[in-house]
A and B are shown apart, each in its own frame.
Chain A
Amino acid sequence: MSDITKQSLTELVENIKNKKLSSTDVTKAFIERSEKSKELNAYITEDFTSALVKAKKFDQKPNLDLKLPGIPMAVKDLFCTNNVKTTAGSKILNNFVPTYESTVTENIWKEGAILLGKLNCDEFAMGSSNETSFFGNVQNPIDKDLVPGGSSGGSASAVSGQLTPITIGTDTGGSIRQPASFTGIVGLKPTYGSCSRYGIVAFASSLDQAGPMAQNVKDCALLQEVISTYDPKDSTSIDFKRNQYSKELTNNIKGKKIGIPKEYRVDGMPKEIEDLWQKGIQYIKDCGAETIDISLPHTSYALPTYYIVAPAEASSNLARYDGVKYGFRAKGENLIDMYEKTRSEGFGAEVQRRIMIGTYVLSSGYYDAYYLKAQKVRKLIKNDFDEAYKKVDAILTPSTPSSAFKIGEKTNDPVSMYLNDIFTVPVNLAGLPGISIPAGHDSKGYPLGLQIIGKAFDEQNILNIAFAMEEKINFKNKITDWWIK
């Protein structure tokens, strides 16, 4: 079967359960395609030999009751994987081999999935184009020289290019939804506290969440069902009743009220994005749901707030990389000199920039003016959503203010790069779930996404809305395999 890699996760699971395919067939197919796809630079570490061994072992005694029986998958290189190098896209972790497993990946292996390898990402997940990775930029399967978005750029590229049937990414300010939008796939950022952060290389602890990326909504729901568990090892993990997201998935969204926030109509937004949004509103109505104009008045303050909160937390989290206990170490004349050289040589430019912003806003004399101020505005942003959810069940917005841009186009202007996350960042600040689904193409043929934002812990509802809209949109990704010689 040469078209194995074109199948969705749901189809692959069914074919393995019906014994039409073995785990070895499927694993081999994705390895072969990954081998032919090196130009995308989606992988940092390949684990193909051991994936095949695991697939054969699965086939000898297949447990077909599992949710991901013998399904191969690659994951973002931000998840610690036992005995498999984990770099976070950074030189400073280039030689780091964890001796433990992240809870989210542990959940996946327990359900029968098999690790294919670790996927490229922006260094410490800091970036919107996958250009800050120490391991080089990633190509977007949609078109050559186009960024796949970031920070989960390798993950988005690998799903869109069919190098892996599904994957998991992480999202601190849009790092799942923005690349999903740029590559024509589905990406879900769950509610803060839904997926354990244990074993995920930390960026900004009050914002980081792991989440699924897939070719369609159903696959996304199934993966979310597997990764979302209460975990005592993460003190912010929340013990709530989790749905069987894929089993409870329905396209019946009749009577749902969907908010359309006027503040998301930003200056300079291309007409194509506005048109897409209007199309989305029409799809919502075609599904029997109702749209209501709402206001989220503090939307324009979200990005400035984020660029205080996230760097502040990052500067604390990244203090651990000192060259002493693990990771890269530079030679220094004394201990302090060793620290300073290790961090100067080990971190890339964007990470250093953010550590410095964070250090500055937390430093003596500036804490109240910046960090405390940002925490207060964060409260106002959350209040906006709380107020809106008295009237609506979910909110519909564009996922990004533009389609994917060219590699190198925004690297010299950090603020223009940050503006990419204008529609996704408020969701992280308020701790809400958000999903991006492919909803159309721009004039260049590049995919565009729509975002559905839900109430906290209401993943089932936004998955249902996405599922209903997906049927109406009937999106087809335009992948030409240009990178395969």
Chain B
Amino acid sequence: MSIDLKTIKHISKLSRISVDEKRAEKLAGDLNSIFDFIEKLNELKTDNVEPLTSVAETTLKLRPDEVKSKNIRGQIIKNSPQDNEDYFVVPKVIE
């Protein structure tokens, strides 16, 4: 398998990370060597194996539906990158 520049562009778009031509070439090289290494898994037949999704063999506990954090709007927006009073501010999205 080979990851070409077109695939890199596609993954870059999906992961919302802009990548220029030079970096794309470097990434293609890196990813190809990593995937060569990963391909080893194909040596194994796994048709009848159940996938392991979590090692924590536990069922989720129920808890009372109570509000525990109140009036923390100030805390939530404290770290927002652009100064504002009550909202998160983003670049204009509606023309």
Contact = CB atoms under 8 A, between A and B. Distances in A.
Query: Is the pairing of A and B real?
Result: yes
Interface string B63-95: 100000000100111111110000010111100
B30 A414 contact: yes
B79 A95 contact: yes
A414 B3 CA distance: 16
Contact of A332 (B10, B60, B91): B91
B22 to A, nearest CB: 12
Interface stretch (A105-113, A254-262, A372-380, A440-448): A372-380
A359 B11 contact: yes
Nearest to B58: A238
Interface of A: 95-97, 99-100, 192-193, 206, 232, 235-236, 238-239, 298, 300-301, 303-305, 307-308, 315, 322-329, 332-341, 343-344, 347, 352-353, 355-357, 359-360, 363, 370, 372-380, 382, 413-415, 418, 429-431, 456
A301 B41 contact: yes
Given A325-B88, A335-B90, A343-B15, A430 B55 contact: yes
B14 A338 contact: no
Contacts of B93: 334-335
A415 B31 CA distance: 10
Given A360-B3, A372-B51, A378-B52, 9 more contacts: A303-B37, A332-B91, A343-B16, A353-B34, A376-B51, A377-B41, A377-B44, A382-B52, A415-B37
Contacts of B31: 353, 356-357, 360
Contacts of A359: 11, 14-15
A328 B37 contact: no
Interface of B: 3, 7-8, 10-12, 14-19, 27, 30-31, 33-34, 37-44, 46, 49-56, 58, 60-61, 63, 72, 75-82, 88, 90-93
Nearest to B43: A301
A376 B58 contact: no
Contacts of B50: 376, 379
A196 to B, nearest CB: 12
A32 B82 CA distance: 38
A363 B15 CA distance: 10
B37 A236 contact: no
Contacts of A99: 72, 75-76, 78-79
A341 B19 CA distance: 9
Contacts of A300: 40
Please give me the 7 A-B residue pairs with the lowest Cβ-Cβ distance, nearest first: A431-B55, A375-B51, A326-B79, A329-B81, A99-B75, A340-B18, A379-B52
